[in-house]
Amino acid sequence: MYHIVTGACGFIGANIVKALNERGIDKVIAVDNLKKADKFKNLIDCEIADYLDKHEFIEMVQAGHFDGAVEAIFHEGACSDTMETDGHYMMENNYRYTSTLLDFCLDHETQFLYASSASVYGAGRVFKEARAHEGPLNVYGYSKFLFDQVVRQRLASADFSSQVVGFRYFNVYGPREQHKGRMASVAFHHFNQYREHGKVKLFEGCDGYGNGEQSRDFVYIDDVVKVNMFFLDHPEKSGIFNLGTGRAQPFNDIAHATVNACRALEGKPALALAEMVAQGIVEYVAFPEALKGKYQSFTQADMTALRAAGYQADFATVEEGVGRYVARLAGAA
């Protein structure tokens, strides 16, 4: 039996492939789109049984090639660019493709664990897995939101026959995201900015927040993978779950943690944020016009549902996660 990971060359997908390998699972089919060829580097230290292009894979699924041969599908593949304006592409790639995989998994009693997104909450202030709190600000968020509605309908219906779990990822950061360019995490960009220029950049204040005080729920990739593995081990548990930490921390915390982690590697003492600003190490730049009205200035996952499902492990703080990440980035540099 195979485990299939879509988006396997991407950030979360590659980390899931690695986690499966660490469990002794190497009958993994990696599915992705390698038009951006450098993503292959994420799988160099992983063992897989086969690689399939995402178009080839969905055609094989529809032709019955994998009937009875799949233990679980981790569906991490998607266009995650919140600035994408081609709605036809977004809905075909994110919504319709995912719907086809859901049908396959329900028909064959295959575990289906898929990537949703905290973007479904839009500008709301309550981040709880309920329809009343959802209102995406862009077509990416809408593609995730709409599929979650389908899952809710199917989970409530009589034809529900296998595990279906959606993870509403908040701001994930960590190793294997280097290919994402401008969509990579703030921690990744800050590490490279500091190494190259000796300073990091954050947005000036907006939406009533001070400079760098916009706050998000930042979750380290190792914790994201652990939650995925928990549900793989508990096929009786289904639902849509927030996957953050339950803490909102300002972007200033990311800058502060990244700079001090880099300074520690250089043998330099830690600085307070105010000292970094005064010395020009942290610099605030104008908030982009293109993001106004489409930006979440605050997110904080309500973790009640995940905890009720039985996941009780702690989540890394920004300070802990960024410290680990910087050490790994420096080791790979």
Active site residues: 140, 180
Task: In whole angstroms, give the CA distance from residue 300 to residue 170.
Answer: 8
Task: In whole angstroms, give the CA distance from residue 80 to residue 84.
Answer: 8
Task: In whole angstroms, give the CA distance from residue 8 to residue 76.
Answer: 7
Closest alpha carbon to 126 in 273, 298, 310: 298
> CA geometry: angle at 16 spanning 74 and 50, to 5°?
75
Torsion angle of the four alpha carbons 206, 209, 210, 215, in this order, in degrees rounded to the nearest 10: -110
Region for residue 25 given its phi and psi (left: phi exceeds 0; alpha: psi -120 to 50; beta: otherwise)? beta
Residues near 229 by beta carbon (within 8 Å), at least 6 away in sequence: 19, 23
- Residue 234's Cβ-count burial label (10 Å; 0-12, 13-18, 19+) is middle
Residue listed under structure tokens 């900015």: 193
- Token pair, residue 277, equals 């600003």
Q: Alpha-carbon torsion 206, 212, 214, 216, what sign?
A: positive
